[in-house]
């Protein structure tokens, strides 16, 4: 079977789900006639028409709010944030309205908010963000962030079918760089399950999204140069977290590095560290370490961006330190 890109995998999921269920529709800025800023929704308008591929005003509050209202009425809207950075505009609608709807009013709100996320693309402060941590903090939302093409498709299908709101982060660095074969048939990846990206016995790296590839590169280098066996756990799902898979890798290697592209303070690494501390304290042979972005807005110049974001060399350094502890 031919390989398709991470981006094409997301598009394939949208086509298949819109074919399967007439209640699924897309809305967002420039998603119809233009096909989306990154062309994720390219071709949807021609296939499904204006009623199901809605070009909206530049109004993140209204787009998310309208999706919620439609979801209450039995629809399954898929919202595009042109860049995930703009999800901040809809923060109130997502956290105060959408996330609480089932709990406070027993209103089903099955909807997906998806959008291009992440850096390493010279996008600057407003086209490179990773705002996932703010949302895993909110009960009532689910958050996924795939790293492979197959997971991008399978998780999108799961997100659309989920009966609650799922935030679907797409890493724009991976859009066209990563390819994969799609499993045959109706390929759905369950939300809440991590993926073991590489098996190892000496040190575990827990990560997700684009930094999965930094971890894999580092693991290869460390095996080659240091004879270290590094395990890489790709979380895929950030809310809910796969505690079982996290515990299993910690108890296997006893040395843990948490790696993410998001900034450090208040990032998901802190939450993971706390969970590991609570449940696996006696299994650790070294303190849990973090490799993350520095706590600064993401700058544009390559020399600046590369310095701020975690790189493979940083991962190698951290794993060596853990192994030597």
> How far apart, in Å, do the first and last CA atoms of the chain sit?
45
Q: Nearer to another protein by C-beta: 64 or 84?
A: 64
Binding mask 295-324 for another protein (x = CB under 8 A): ------------------------------
The verdict on 137 binding another protein (CB under 8 A) reads no
d(CA 73, CA 217): 47
d(CA 37, CA 59): 16
Q: Which of 72, 179, 193, 275 binds another protein (CB under 8 A)?
A: 72
CB of 311 to another protein, least distance (A): 34
Judged by CB under 8 A, which stretch of 3-11, 72-80, 207-215, 269-277 contacts another protein? 72-80
Binding mask 270-289 for another protein (x = CB under 8 A): ------------xx------
The verdict on 93 binding another protein (CB under 8 A) reads yes
Judged by CB under 8 A, which stretch of 12-20, 55-63, 197-205, 290-298 contacts another protein? 55-63
Of the candidates 318, 323, 201, 220, the one whose C-alpha atom is nearest the C-alpha of residue 269 is: 318
The verdict on 180 binding another protein (CB under 8 A) reads no
Instruction: Find all residues with CB under 8 Å of 231, minimum gap 6, and list them.
Output: 196, 198, 199, 200, 201, 203, 204, 205, 249, 252, 253
Binding mask 205-244 for another protein (x = CB under 8 A): -----------------------------------x----
Q: Which of 3, 46, 92, 199 binds another protein (CB under 8 A)?
A: 92
The verdict on 139 binding another protein (CB under 8 A) reads yes
Whether residue 302 contacts residue 271, with contact meaning beta carbons closer than 8 Å, is answered with no
The verdict on 25 binding another protein (CB under 8 A) reads yes
Q: Nearer to another protein by C-beta: 93 or 308?
A: 93
- The residue with tokens 């991976």 is 174
The verdict on 67 binding another protein (CB under 8 A) reads yes
d(CA 136, CA 138): 5
d(CA 155, CA 189): 5
d(CA 291, CA 272): 13
d(CA 143, CA 133): 9
Judged by CB under 8 A, which stretch of 92-100, 113-121, 170-178, 208-216 contacts another protein? 92-100
The verdict on 163 binding another protein (CB under 8 A) reads yes
294 included as an active-site residue: no
Q: Is 289 helix (H, G, I), strand (E, B) or coil?
A: strand
Whether residue 90 contacts residue 63, with contact meaning beta carbons closer than 8 Å, is answered with yes
Q: Which of 5, 100, 229, 312 binds another protein (CB under 8 A)?
A: 100
Q: How far is CA 170 from CA 7, 10, 15, 40, 130, in A?
A: 8, 9, 17, 10, 10
Rounding to the nearest 10 degrees, give the CA dihedral for residues 198, 204, 210, 213. -40
Instruction: Output the DSSP codes for 153-195.
Output: HHHHHHHHHSSS-EEEEEETTTTTT-EEEPPSSS--PPTT--E
Q: Which of 1, 2, 73, 184 binds another protein (CB under 8 A)?
A: 73
CB of 73 to another protein, least distance (A): 4
- CB neighbourhood size of 107 (10 A): 16
Q: Nearer to another protein by C-beta: 226 or 271?
A: 271
CB of 139 to another protein, least distance (A): 5
Q: Which spans of this chain sit near another protein (rule: CB under 8 A)?
A: 25, 51-52, 54, 56-57, 59-75, 77, 92-93, 96-97, 100, 102-108, 139-140, 142, 162-164, 240, 251, 282-283
Active centre residues (catalytic): 127
């Amino acid at each position: 079977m031919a390989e398709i890109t991470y981006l094409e995998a997301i598009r394939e999921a949208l086509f298949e789900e819109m074919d399967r269920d007439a209640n699924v529709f897309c809305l967002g800025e420039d998603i119809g006639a233009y096909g989306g800023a990154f062309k994720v929704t390219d071709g949807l308008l021609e296939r499904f028409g204006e009623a199901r591929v809605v070009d909206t005003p530049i109004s993140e509050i209204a787009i998310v709010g309208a999706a919620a209202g439609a979801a209450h009425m039995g629809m399954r809207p898929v919202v595009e944030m042109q860049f995930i950075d703009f999800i901040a505009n809809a923060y109130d609608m997502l956290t105060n309205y959408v996330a609480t709807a089932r709990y406070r009013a027993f209103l089903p709100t099955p909807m997906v908010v998806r959008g291009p996320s992440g850096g390493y693309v010279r996008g600057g402060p407003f086209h490179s963000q990773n705002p996932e941590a703010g949302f895993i903090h909110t009960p009532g939302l689910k958050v996924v962030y795939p790293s492979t093409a197959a997971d991008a498709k399978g998780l999108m299908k799961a997100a659309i079918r989920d009966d609650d709101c799922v935030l679907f982060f797409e890493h724009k660095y991976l859009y066209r760089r990563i390819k994969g074969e799609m499993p045959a048939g109706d390929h759905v990846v369950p939300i809440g399950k991590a993926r073991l990206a590489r098996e190892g016995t000496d040190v575990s790296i827990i990560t997700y999204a684009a930094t999965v590839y930094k971890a894999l590169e580092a693991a290869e280098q460390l095996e080659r140069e240091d004879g270290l066996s590094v395990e890489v756990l790709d979380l895929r799902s950030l809310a809910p977290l796969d505690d079982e898979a996290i515990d299993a890798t910690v108890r296997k290697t006893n040395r843990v590095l948490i790696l993410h592209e998001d900034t450090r303070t208040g990032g998901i690494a802190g939450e993971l560290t706390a969970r590991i501390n609570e449940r696996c304290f006696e299994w650790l042979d070294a303190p849990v370490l973090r490799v993350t972005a520095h706590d600064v807005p993401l700058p544009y110049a390559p020399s600046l961006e590369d310095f701020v974001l975690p790189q493979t060399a940083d991962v190698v350094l951290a794993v060596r330190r853990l192994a030597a502890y």
